[in-house]
Amino acid sequence: MSAQRFFTPWRFILPGAVLGLIILGYPIYRAIYYSMHSIRLHRLGNEVFVGIDNFTRMLSDPLFIRSIRVTVVFTLGCTILAVLFGLTIATIMSSRGIRGTRQARFFMAFFLVPFVTTQIVTAILGRLYIWQSQYGLVNFILGLFGVERVGWLINMQTALFATTVTNAWRMTPLALLIFYAALATISDELIESAEVDGASTWTTLFRIKFPMIKFHIGFVSLVILTSAFREFDVVYGLTGGGPGRSTEVMSVLVYRLGVAQANMGIANAISVIMFVIVAVMTIIAVKAGKLGAMRE
Amino acid sequence: MSTPNYRLRKKVSLGARYAALVFWFLICIVPIATLVMASLKPTALFQTIPQIFSLQGFTLENYRLAIRAGNFMFYLRNSMIISLSALVVVLVVCTPMSYGITRLASVRQKNILVFSVLSTRFLPYVVLAMPMYLFFREIGISGTLAGVIMAHLAMQMPLIVWLMLGFFSGIPIEVEESAVIDGCTPFQTFWKIALPMVLPGLNAAAILALIISYNEFLFAFFLAGRHTQPLTVGITRFVGGVDVGAQYGVVAAYGSLIIVPIVIFALVVNRYIVSGMTQGAVKG
């Protein structure tokens, strides 16, 4: 019986496990392998083992350090904006008088639109119609209030801001949706009894509702942190890393070094560093929130 | 606190909340509307926002150019082949895998598998794309559809397994035990008992996978060849270069052609997307 119980689930798992090893395990192994070699694109097969040279060279490169700083600002900015706006709108959506109405369903359907919109189109749209300095939507609206035109994507000071906001626009629906689903499970009786005891709307929000969904806030933050951290499409399409590398997040740097400059060893070294960063973030989150346990 | 005053305050508060929702609705929709409206205007001129939203100068010329000169149908075909093939393989392989993982008796084995899924779920895509770019050349599938599809599989496998784990672990084990007592083989139990019970979840996973594949740019950009590029790479051919200005309208038309179908699809299957996205986070 125990042999039977052991054997049967594995017959279901095996094809997936093998495929996973081929398409996920092997590329990760190759990334580590390449990261310790010096390779040029036109001389494939002639890799020279250089140990940790690529890593030490990278870590002393101001371009790389700068890219880390850009990535941190971009990633944290997206996460903070998306969680903040997601939480605000979800709170309104789940408030009494709105939750469960036909209007709420209508709004929710459209609130998902930024998330399903093709990222590269979002980026191009942002570049040509939203942040464009002369004719763009943002400057048009600011102009109605008498604000001078800003060269959002041309200035090094504002390009990272515009890029971060664009990606946050795309990620907010995820936060909004999960927070809405979580807030909807909080029973009305609980809130009503708190109100009978004299709790104000704000008190019930910050003392009851938000603490009750803190697991979801943590998980959404992890998902948005990691997906903003790996974002390539939006940044590449919007600014290509410019102007003056002021928006060159690590994914874009990997592309520029690896494909455009054909320095694969260095590019893979950065990839491996990115992999380690995400792995550490995931492990911390698992330890903190017992995320792994929730699937048992 | 007098009653009429309280009621008035409630009405004001409801009005304010609706105002906030309308404001957010505009933030979500106006950028997309700008793109679609701009695609219907002559391409040669720069357009201000009022011009874009006016009804004057309506034309479908940009769409003609996007479809003819932009080779839209060719890229659409590639997009479809890539996302549908990846979807079929991912569902056929990952659904039984998730089922198997939730039915493992050994907690240690289960933990190892769940952790491998979780650790690849957040993997930066460049970590896969860079080495794939190199060793696809070595094994001679560089630039082929097969290579791009493999990359898409790698992108979707962790997500789909993760989603399906949640749906399968929601099935009470007693249902299956009684099926086994009635003489079902393990495969029959999976196929006839477990699978029908997670069908809504499977739909949600499939729809999310389809949308993600259709929208994907990075892997296609790194790995696809001239004849295998999907729509997301196709549109970038219009952008960049000095003559961007003259092609604004065509880019808008091309972009609209890409996103309007996916947005309408998402609005129609909204219910499944909601359940798929919530399942990704909420305890199953």
According to DSSP, residue A147 is labeled P
Quote the percentage of chain A above a pLDDT of 70. 93
DSSP per-residue string spanning A194-215: HHHTT--HHHIIIIIIHHHTHH
Cβ-contact A135, B248 below 8 angstroms: no
B121-132, pLDDT tens digit by residue? 889 999 999 899
Phi, psi of B143 (to 5 degrees): 80, 0
Boundaries of every domain in chain A: 53-290
* pLDDT tier at A9, thresholds 50, 70, 90: confident
CB-based contacts of A122, cutoff 8 Å, min separation 6: A114, A166, A169, A170, A234, A237, B31
Chain A residues in contact with B70 (beta carbon < 8 A): none
In the Cβ-directed half-sphere of A25, how many Cα atoms lie within 13 Å? 10
3-class secondary structure, B278: helix
With beta carbons less than 8 A apart as the criterion, state whether A153 and A127 touch.
yes
Interface contact A89-B116, CB threshold 8 A: no
The partner residue sitting opposite A140, judged by closest CB among B49, B89, B151, is B49
Query: With bands split at pLDDT 50, 70 and 90, how would you rate the model's confidence at B283?
Result: very low
Of A96, A108, A110, the residue nearest B13 (C-alpha): A96
Stretch B15-42: mean pLDDT: 93
Mean pLDDT in residue range A228-249: 93
For A92-112, write each residue's pLDDT tens digit.
999 888 888 899 989 999 999
DSSP alpha helix (H) spans, B40-124: 49-53, 61-68, 72-102, 107-121
Whether the pLDDT of residue B203 is over 50: the answer is: yes
Mean of pLDDT values over B56-60: 84
pLDDT class for A242, splitting at 50, 70, 90?
A: confident
Q: Does residue A247 carry a pLDDT above 50?
A: yes
pLDDT at A208 over 50: yes
pLDDT-derived band at A47 (thresholds 50, 70, 90) equals: confident
Q: What is the pLDDT of residue B265?
A: 92
Q: Say whether residue B8 is in contact with chain A using an 8 A CB cutoff.
A: no
Q: Does the beta-carbon distance from A295 to B165 stay under 8 Å?
A: yes
Contact A37, A265 (CB under 8 A): yes
- pLDDT, residue A5, reads 52
pTM of the model: 0.91
Contacts of B280 in chain A (CB under 8 A): 178, 223
Cβ atoms A281, A222 nearer than 8 A: yes
Answer whether B280 touches A (CB < 8 Å): yes
Question: What residues of chain B lie within 8 A of the CB of A291, using their CB?
Answer: 118
The closest CB to that of A275, out of B123, B169, B270, belongs to B123
How far away is chain A from the Cα of B44, in angstroms, using its nearest Cα? Answer: 14
What is the predicted pLDDT for the residue at A41? 67
Count chain A–chain B contacts defined by CB atoms under 8 A: 304
B181, exposed or middle or buried, with CB in 10 Å at 0-12, 13-18, 19+? exposed
Cα end-to-end distance, chain B, whole Å: 43
User: What integer is the mean pLDDT of A169-198?
Assistant: 88
Residues in Cβ contact with B53 at an 8 Å cutoff, skipping those fewer than 6 apart: B33, B34, B37
The distance of B104 to chain A (nearest Cα, Å) reads: 6
- Cis ω on the peptide bond leading into residue A243 (within 30° of 0)? yes
Residue B190 has pLDDT above 60, yes or no: yes
pLDDT of residue B91 exceeding 80: yes
What integer pLDDT is reported at residue B148 of this predicted model? 96
Q: Find residues 107-136 of chain A whose CB sits inside 8 Å of chain B.
A: 107-114, 116-122, 124-130, 134-135
Return the CATH number of A53-290, one of 3.40.50.2300, 2.40.160.10, 3.90.550.10, 1.10.3720.10.
1.10.3720.10
CA nearest B144: which of B231, B232, B224? B224
The three state secondary structure string of A47-103 is CEECCCHHHHHHHCCHHHHHHHHHHHHHHHHHHHHHHHHHHHHHHHHCCCCCCCCHH
CA–CA separation, A192 vs A199, rounded Å?
9
Distance of alpha carbon A30 from alpha carbon A38, whole angstroms: 13
| Interface with chain A: mutation pick from B34, B123, B162, B275, highest number of A CBs within 10 Å | B123
Which is higher by pLDDT, B215 or B273?
B215
Mean of the pLDDT values across residues B198-205?
Answer: 90
Do A90 and A183 touch, CB atoms closer than 8 A? yes
A98 and chain B in contact, CB less than 8 A = yes
